[in-house]
Structure 1
Amino acid sequence: MIESTGGTSGSSGGPHELPLRERKKRATRQRISDTATQLFLQRGFDTVTVAEVARAAEVSAMTVFNHFPRKEDLLIDRIPEAVEMFTGAVRHRAPGETPVAALRRLALDLLEARHPLSGVDDDFPPFWRIVLDSPALRARAREAVEELEGALARALAETAPELPDPRLAAALTVAAYRAVYVASASRLLAGRRADAVAPDHRARLDAAFDAVERALAGMERNP
């Protein structure tokens, strides 16, 4: 769910709004990630070293690690962006809007934009094959889901006091989103086109968030 296709993390503000130093930092991160992705696509994740990525990106290995603490994060690089988006949707939701409604809106917006975090785009299957072929990447993807769940639980605890169990609410929401993501990814890996998958993905998202809303309503009635 947290995977990318070599895009830079972070979504707040356009590059033109950032100071020059930050723009350069993001450009370097983007170049490293893009270079790593191409090498992994050509040769597989496990056979490419960080030193090779650094040489190809024309930076030092230390620079690579400054941007990506772990080799796996060179490919699964949208963890910070996912955390920012999901927690931001909860923290900055409109007055009277429930957390689940805000997260549903985010999910549908991601689908509409064909954002990598939506999981629906014809360009994504090659990336997923790299992940599926590497035990290390699969393990990192699972950790990323746990990180997102923990961050969302904290945001819910701070902004939705009506929820009796924020951690359970976060777990239900992330699990529901992940289930829809994985189902659509499987169909794309099997050869379906994104335009054919998108309508069902949208319907599944709505059904998933409906289920989460019913579950949380039950929790509120039976604290």
Structure 2
Amino acid sequence: MENPVIIFGANGLGKAALDIFQQNGVVVYCFLDDDKALHGTEIDSISVMGATDDDGYLKFIGKKCEAFVAFDDNKLRKNVVEMLVDRRKVMPVNCVHNQSIIASTATIGYGNFINAQVRVGAFATIGQHCLIHSGAIIEHEARLGDFVQIGAGSVINAGVTIEDGAFIGSGVTVVSGVTIGKGARVGAGSVVISDVKKNETVFGNPAQSVKS
């Protein structure tokens, strides 16, 4: 990546993204965040310059700078991505740790965060704007939709489908061939042995529906 990056979000995920970009030799120009208390502060000598919709900085994106969106909250991340596409006609770049292993036959979209020790297997598909945390394993031919979150140390086995916006907690095992529906949530440490419905929340070993 030749251009420097502006990171949207100066929270924990933004700090992790900064570390990854710096290890990869990518210059981070600044952070943008809507928390005014952060404006003018620095994170490892990188300044938080202003709000996420500040045209003074947005004008550089797509010309002199790239963008990466580092918000854990899916709704907020979607809003910033839509703003970048609408106002700057660009998609955020990927942030991929240099200690991750991604098969040459895997397919990866835009704006993904892939942390250290992640393994993505042959012919796996990762959509756009996913968060895949340290040590997660995405086995061969697994398919992740857009805005999917995979917690640290989770194992997504071969042929699993995880639809848009689903959340998989840390240390989860999803057995081969299972489908996790759109917007579903899987609690940390669960073992998922059967399909999870759209917007359903499951937890346990084996994972079972959690009634609200």
> TM-score with structure 2 length normalisation?
0.32
Query: Which protein, 1 or 2, shows the higher relative CO under an 8 Å CA cutoff with sep ≥ 6?
Result: 1
- Relative to its length, the structure with more strand (as a share) is 2
For normalisation by structure 1, the TM-score amounts to: 0.31
